[in-house]
Amino acid sequence: MKNTTIAAYCIHNGIANHLIISKDIYKILPCQVGDIIKANSYEKQYGKKLIGRNENGTNIYGTDETKVEFWLKSYEIAFRKGGFEFE
């Protein structure tokens, strides 16, 4: 299982953004379409980019400061309305 990315809308300031949830946290409390969640904490991180390979052929990654990611570290389900399924 990979990390999960969700599309989130902040009710407080009206800004929509993508949030990344680590697979370990998501396994404990998965989100569903239509959930209203309360973000208790999140972390801003820069993306990664491939900058080369070492002599053994292993990829070497560096920081890509043009790509910003928001990682949701702690959240709770404030409201869940059941029955949302898309075909």
Q: 21-62, pLDDT tens digit by residue? A: 999 999 999 998 889 999 999 999 999 999 999 999 999 999
Determine, yes or no, domain membership for 87: no
**Domain assignment of residue 18, given as a range:** 4-79
CA dist., res. 40 & res. 5, Å (int): 17
Determine, yes or no, domain membership for 84: no
Judging by DSSP bridges, how do beta strands 36-53 and 59-79 pair with one another? antiparallel
Determine, yes or no, domain membership for 69: yes
Determine, yes or no, domain membership for 62: yes
Q: Which residues 6+ apart lie within 8 Å of 55 measured at CB?
A: none
Is residue 87 very low, low, confident or very high in pLDDT (cuts 50, 70, 90)?
very low
Determine, yes or no, domain membership for 54: yes
CA dist., res. 3 & res. 5, Å (int): 7
pTM value is: 0.75
Total structural domains within the chain = 1
Q: Give the pLDDT score at 82.
A: 65
Determine, yes or no, domain membership for 58: yes
CA dist., res. 82 & res. 9, Å (int): 19
Q: Give the pLDDT score at 23.
A: 95
Q: Is pLDDT above 80 for 83?
A: no
